[in-house]
Structure 1
Amino acid sequence: MIKDPQMTLKTDTLHFDRSKQILYYKYSGTIKDSINTLTSNTGKYSLQNNKFQAISDVVLINPDYILNSNHLDYYTNDGKAFLYGSSTISSDDNFIYCEKGFYDTKQNISHFTRNARIEYDDREIKADSLFYNRNTGFASATKNITITDTLNHSVLKGNYAEYFEKLDSAYVIGRALAITNTNKDSLFIHGDTLLVTGDPKNRIIRAYHHVKFFKSDMSGKCDSIHSNQRTGLTQMFKNPVLWSNQSQITGDTIQLISNIETDKLDSLKVLQNAFIINKDSIGFNQIKGRNLLGKFDENDLRFVHIIGNSEVIHFVRNEDNSLIGIEKTTCSEIHFVLKDGAIQNAKFITQPDGETYPPSKLPENVRKLRGFQWREDEKPLTKEDIFKLDEK
């Protein structure tokens, strides 16, 4: 046994290289300082720089965690440890794995690389580089980041992220992407910045600037989006556009309400300047009004109620899909039944004013309602398209 003011070293057989001032053992040893107890199969201790090098079955026991590694360099004067090879750190709060890293056992600050990951009860963070402060519960990640929420079946990706353990919140930038599994389908959301807050039962996803999302049966675009997974309410702000089936839907604010039990879309609200456009072979079917209420059936928009200043242009066709005429009507309120985005049935409420014109009697310049804007070129067609910046 060897003692000095900073540590105690115990082993069955201890060798001393006087010229190099190195103590070493070949068959199991234990070193203790004021904080940690470290054991390994073989090891050596440099008296000159207070460096202890432990090799094979290395275990460092701290009051807050247990560290296991194949190779660890530990400095007894400042409590700093350098990890090489497959290494783990286990605690009540989390589990850490890396294949190269640094841990300041006195300050509880660490940095991990090479297949680094931190696992929590319901979340896992992977990245090329991970910084972690155990005292504050703060972690930052750089490059090839994946944050997996195992409880809500969602994933965050990006090139830089910050995670606040005590707030259960994450911030992601750099090709930021949120993936949420809904009803055996995946929703992909991209924005310049992603912010996820709240505990698993009250999780909120926010995306800011150049926001686009894609799902197999729906896509959209806006400047910012707010999605509450507890209530099922998703809100789109600032020049939002939603593509559902064959319909383009716009307005000042768009709200989507999902059934939280089935993960299917339940209803839709478009507040102020509501506008639905559906492309016909020779023009555009259009529904416009102050506000819009909609109802989904199997994620397909089927029922629409336009409230206030309602207007419609509808290319009326018979069962053979032959054009009968072009209907143009205004009304205070209109109820529609849609099929594949096209008007199947309409009910006009309170003094409708309009008629159905033969195509030759309705000039091209009046076949579009005021505020018409066809934005098909902005529509994401694949999950990769959400990263494309639209041309100005």
Structure 2
Amino acid sequence: MILRFTTALFILLFSCGVLNLHAQVLSQAPKTTTTTADDSSRVVEILPGVRKLELLKTDDSTSLQILAGNVKLKQGTTYFYCDSCVINNRTKIFEAFGKVHINDSDTAHVYSEYLRYFQDKRIAYLKGGVKLTDGKGVLTTPELEYDVNTKIGIYTKGGKVVNKKTILTSQEGYYYADLKDVYFKKDVDMKDPAYSIKTDSLLYNTETETARFITYTLIKDSSGRTVETNTGFYDLKRKKAEFGGNAKIVDGKTIMSAQSFAFDDSTGISQARGNVVIIDTVEKTTVIAGEVYRNNKLETMLATKKPLMIIRQNKDSIFITADTIFSARLSDLFVKKDTVVKDNLNIEPSNDSLVKNDSAKTVQAIDTVKKDAVINDNLNAKPLTDSLVKNDSLKILDPAHLVKKDTLKGTVIMDLNKKDTTGKKDSTNRYIEAYRNVRIFSDSLQAVGDSMFYSLKDSTFRLFFDPVVWSKENQITGDTIYLHTKNKKPERLKVINNSMMVNKLDPEVFNQVRSNRMDGYFIDGNIDSVRAKGEAQCIYFIQDNDSAYSSINQSQSDLMDIYFRDKELFKIVFRSQVSGTIWPIRQKRPSEMRLPSFRWLDSRRPKSKTEMFE
């Protein structure tokens, strides 16, 4: 009886105790909570496959998880791989050792031998053979700070980025994995088969293969061209570039500077803007303009916005300005050398009475003056050579070694692509064209015209549409003027149709010569003599020993020579039958003595070098 009661009481007390314990457990159980996405993204999970896992409690608040062998961790979409790892649950920091690999959402992959990772900040510090790649370029560096949130890698102890054949190095850098941009700082050196770059700061995109410059940068390409710039970009894929900040380019013997440049190496076309200066050290020419276009493949140049070309020489440089200046290869003006080439500049106008009208034969000129009709010069002045008698004086671009005759009689074919015996390119295979408002200035000679053509082959300026040439107080006009130079100095002058020369003595006092054609000759760049041909007329003021005007010679002759002394008109010699009148100075007012079409155009004359820059 007693045994039964004891047993029943034990069962009752045990049941009550269990129920009470169950109630306590339930009362102490944690309440259900909602975990945010941000919290879950900060949690580091240990993935299956770890060979060894230990829990080490160092104090009441710190416990360490030690993992070894095939370690795999995950935080959000970022995966960590390593040989071994220690996780500090209190500081939320883990350290990884050996063959560390971070896979950041498949956007970036980072490799190293050591990793220190801050779970809350999601910042990784890597050391030992660090490598970062975004699938395009590969960064290697001794140490790297990588922000998983922003996907930005920072190195400060030197780094190298390799993208295909392009290699970039610097002391510091910022790698933007999302944007595939790398910002290089301090001692930046970029090498590529096509070019090399040295600068202090550079932004490079591994996907577009574009380099952007934000400070002084020195670029050298495979052709030897160097670029100095402060801003701009270089697109390796599309072979396009822009340089700013008063860039400077040295291309062979050519030096260029401008506020900005734009290049397309695939087409060979470039553009320069703002205070453009192009110096050719071989040809000794300088071009200054507001805007210049160049085509390196065709070797052409177009200068606009107040262009100025300076042809340098020792004592008397030539300044040329116009609305537009264009330069190209002379051979590009002609068809292939196996084809008959017509140079209409070689042929005088058909209405020139001094030229035979025979288009089937080589142009010949006849001298209408017989030998016995030539008047001897009593003052023993140097006789003029009749330039129209010589065939070569009528031919443009006619060096003897470049001209050959075709089977068609008299047809001239130009071999403008011919090289010299050393195999070098012919530097004279160029021409210059100037359009609208052409002005030419040198100390010894000035000229204006609507347009101009200059050939380096024969060193001749061709002025068209109301051209005017001045030499001291002498003015020459005509429909077309050819100015031949030698060693960059005036040598010969041809004036075709409506030729007129005016020599100013005093206000309203002008010596004048008018003819169909004129040929002038220079010595040391100064005018020496002029021959007037075809219906020549003159008004010449005769002076006595005291330089006082005594009479006026108004005459006509088919051929006359005008001589100069000290750059001033000295005398006129008539070489054929002459008719005219010598007027006493008292019978004529100087203002009355004017030949038809007389004009004194001093207002159009360039007065100084400074004026050419305006």
Q: Could you tell me how far 1:18 is from its partner in structure 2?
A: 2.4
Distance 2:597 2:613 in 1: 28
Q: Following the alignment from structure 1 to structure 2, what is the Cα–Cα distance between the partners of residues 182 and 241?
A: 23
Contact 2:308–2:612 at 8 Å: present in 1 too?
no
Partners of 1:254 and 1:339 in 2: how far apart? 23
Q: Distance in 1 between matches of 2:613 and 2:599?
A: 23
Equivalent residue number for residue 181 of structure 1: 312
Contact 1:314 1:343 in 2 (8 A): no
Residue 362 of structure 1 deviates from its aligned partner by: 3.3
Residue among 204, 209, 232 paired with 2:436? 209
Q: 1:97 to 1:387 in 2, by over 3 A?
A: closer
SS at match of 1:81: strand
Give the aligned partner of residue 310 of structure 1: 536
Larger radius of gyration: 2
Shift of residue 3, structure 1, vs aligned partner: 3.2
Partner of 1:45, secondary structure, is strand
Shift of 1:35: 4.2
Structure 2 letter corresponding to 1:265: P
Unaligned runs of 5+ in 2: 1-130, 330-425
1:76 maps to a residue whose letter is: T
How far apart in 2 are the matches of 1:122 and 1:108? 23
Matches within 5 A, 1:279-298: 279-281=504-506, 283-298=509-524
Mapped contact 1:183–1:264 kept (Cα < 8 A) = no
**Aligned counterpart, 1:105:** 236
Which amino acid in structure 1 is aligned with residue 498 of structure 2?
A: N
Letter in 2 for 1:246: E
Number of residue pairs aligned between Structure 1 and Structure 2? 386
Of 264, 267, 271, the residue aligned with 1:140 is 271
CA distance 1:362–1:341, change in 2 (3 Å)? farther
1:247-266: CA deviations, max 9, x gaps?
Answer: 01000111111113xx3221
1:65 matched residue in structure 2: 195
The residue that corresponds to 1:225 in the other structure is: 452
CA contact (8 A) 2:193 2:222 kept: no
Give the whole-Å Cα distance in 2 for the aligned partners of 1:202 and 1:134: 24
Do the aligned partners of residues 367 and 340 (structure 1) sit closer, same or farther apart at CA in structure 2, a change above 3 Å counting?
Answer: farther
Is the CA contact 2:134–2:177 (under 8 Å) kept in the aligned structure 1? no
CA distance in 1, matches of 2:497, 2:437: 22
Q: Tell me the distance in 2 between the aligned counterparts of 1:144 and 1:365.
A: 47
Tell me the secondary structure at the aligned position of residue 167 of structure 1.
Answer: coil
Alignment of 1:100-179 (within 5 A): 100-179=231-310
Asked if 2 retains the 8 angstrom alpha-carbon contact of 1:69 and 1:88, the reply is: yes
For 1:1-150, what aligned pairs fall within 5 Å after superposition?
A: 1-93=131-223, 94-150=225-281
The answer to whether the 8 A contact 2:198-2:217 is kept is yes
Which structure has more RCO (C-alpha within 8 Å, separation ≥ 6)? 1
2:493 maps to: 268
TM-score normalized with structure 1 length: 0.94
CA distance in 2, matches of 1:284, 1:349: 22
Deviates more, 1:60-69 or 1:143-152: 60-69
2:608 maps to which of 372, 382, 386:
382
3-state SS of paired residue (2:157): coil
Task: Specify the alignment match of 1:324 in structure 2.
Answer: 550
Give, in whole Å, the separation in 2 of the partners of 1:4 and 1:342: 80
Verify the 8 A CA contact 1:58 1:71 in the aligned structure 2: yes
* Shift, 1:84, TM fit: 1.6
| Structure 1 residue 17 displacement after superposition | 2.0
Cα deviation, residue 365, structure 1: 7.0
Offset of residue 340 of structure 1: 4.3
8 Å contact kept, 1:83–1:99: yes
Q: CA deviation at 1:4?
A: 3.7
Q: Larger deviation: 181-190 or 124-133?
A: 181-190
> Please, which of 481, 486, 489 is the counterpart of residue 259 of structure 1?
486
Aligned mates of 2:181, 2:289 — CA distance in 1: 38
C-alpha contact (below 8 Å) 1:131/1:141 kept by paired residues = yes
- Compared CA separation, residues 242 and 257, structure 1 to 2 (3 A): same
Alignment-mate amino acid for residue 481 of structure 2: I
- Tell me how far apart the structure 2 counterparts of residues 115 and 316 of structure 1 sit (CA, whole Å): 60
Counterpart Cα distance in 2 of 1:135 and 1:352: 67
1:363 is displaced (CA, Å) by 5.5
Aligned letter for 2:260? S
SS at match of 2:312: strand
Asked if 1:246 corresponds to 2:473, the answer is yes
Amino acid at match of 1:321: S
Q: Sequence identity, in percent?
A: 27
Following the alignment from structure 1 to structure 2, what is the Cα–Cα distance between the partners of residues 376 and 56? 61
Structure 1, unaligned stretches of length 5 or more?
A: none
- Alpha-carbon spacing, 1:251–1:341, altered in 2? closer, same or farther (3 Å): farther
Residue 368 in structure 1 maps to residue 368 in structure 2: no
Do the aligned residues in 2 keep the contact of 1:246 with 1:340 (CA within 8 Å)?
no
The verdict on how the C-alpha distance between 1:340 and 1:367 changes in structure 2, with shifts beyond 3 A counting, is farther
The TM-score normalised by the length of structure 2 is: 0.61
Partners in 2 of 1:75 and 1:298 — Cα distance? 60
Q: Amino acid of the residue matched to residue 449 of structure 2?
A: C
Distance 1:230 1:181 in 2: 17
Deviations for 1:81-131, whole angstroms, at most 9, x for unmatched residues?
211211121113211110111111211111111121221111122110110
Moved more, 288-297 or 199-208: 199-208
1:239-279 CA-to-partner distances (Å, cap 9, x unmatched) read 0001111101000111111113xx32211111111100011
Between structures 1 and 2, the one with greater helix share:
2
| C-alpha distance in structure 1 between counterparts of 2:134 and 2:612, whole Å | 62
Amino acid at match of 1:64: A
- Alignment check: 8 A CA contact 1:306 1:333 kept: yes
Q: What residue identity is the alignment partner of 2:278? A: I
Question: In structure 1, how many angstroms separate the alpha carbons of the residues matched to 2:522 and 2:262?
Answer: 45
Q: Cα distance, 1:135 vs. partner?
A: 1.9
Cα RMSD (Å) = 1.7
**Contact 2:517/2:534 (<8 A) preserved:** yes
Matched letter for residue 530 of structure 2: V
Deviation at 1:359, TM superposition (A): 1.8
By how many angstroms is 1:202 displaced? 2.5
Whole-Å separation in 2 of the counterparts to 1:191 and 1:372: 26
- For residue 239 of structure 1, give the secondary structure of its aligned residue in structure 2: coil
Instruction: Report the CA distance shift for 1:303/1:239 in structure 2 as closer, same or farther (over 3 A).
Output: same
SS at structure 2 position matched to 1:384:
helix
Tell whether the 8 Å contact from 2:509 to 2:591 is kept in structure 1 after alignment: no
d(CA) in 2 for partners of 1:182, 1:226: 20
Q: Amino acid of the residue matched to residue 446 of structure 2? A: S
